[in-house]
Amino acid sequence: MKTRNGFVSNSSASSFIVAVPKGESSKIKLTIEIDFKDLSSYTINTEKELEKYFCEEYGYTNLKQMKDEKYLIDLYKQGVKSIKSGQYLLCGEVVKRFGSIESFIFDNGIKLPKNSTIQIIENPGETK
């Protein structure tokens, strides 16, 4: 049996014990709060920054080379529209690692509350 005395602050795992009434489900709905700034690698405020991001991220020297990539062109146009409307873009990627919030987003995508002012331009949980 594994025992622990006191508080362990440097552990990569933590135990839990829950009591579930017999005959009832052990499922609960959790709500978490994340800041996309913590998950993003780039903050984009201008069309020029967006163009640079797309070229670097997808391996092009200029946007004209993407002319046959409808999916990328659509993403780019949505980004431009958002920037022109006064928004900034946060760009990043999530990696599937067991038990992480990134893994959850990877598998399920981003689902925003109905009253959110944030717009999802590319969602990891959607098929491209």
Would you write out the chain's pLDDT as a tens digit for each of its 128 residues?
Answer: 445 455 445 445 566 778 888 999 998 877 778 888 988 999 999 999 999 999 999 999 999 999 999 999 999 999 999 999 999 999 988 877 777 788 888 887 888 888 889 998 988 866 65
Looking at the DSSP assignment, which residues form a beta bridge with residue 39? Answer: none
The confidence score (pLDDT) of residue 109 equals 83
The confidence score (pLDDT) of residue 13 equals 59
**Reported pTM:** 0.72
Is 79 within a domain? yes
Whole-number Cα distances in Å, 68 to 2, 76, 94 = 58, 13, 26
* Segments forming the whole domain that contains residue 59: 36-108
Secondary structure element (H or E) that encloses residue 106, with its range: helix 101-108
Calpha distance 83→36 (Å, rounded): 17
Is 62 within a domain? yes
Chain-centroid distance, C-alpha 119: 12
User: For residue 1, what are its two tokens?
Assistant: 């049996």
Is 4 within a domain? no
Is 121 within a domain? no
The confidence score (pLDDT) of residue 1 equals 46
The confidence score (pLDDT) of residue 47 equals 97
Is 116 within a domain? no
The number of folded domains in the chain is: 1
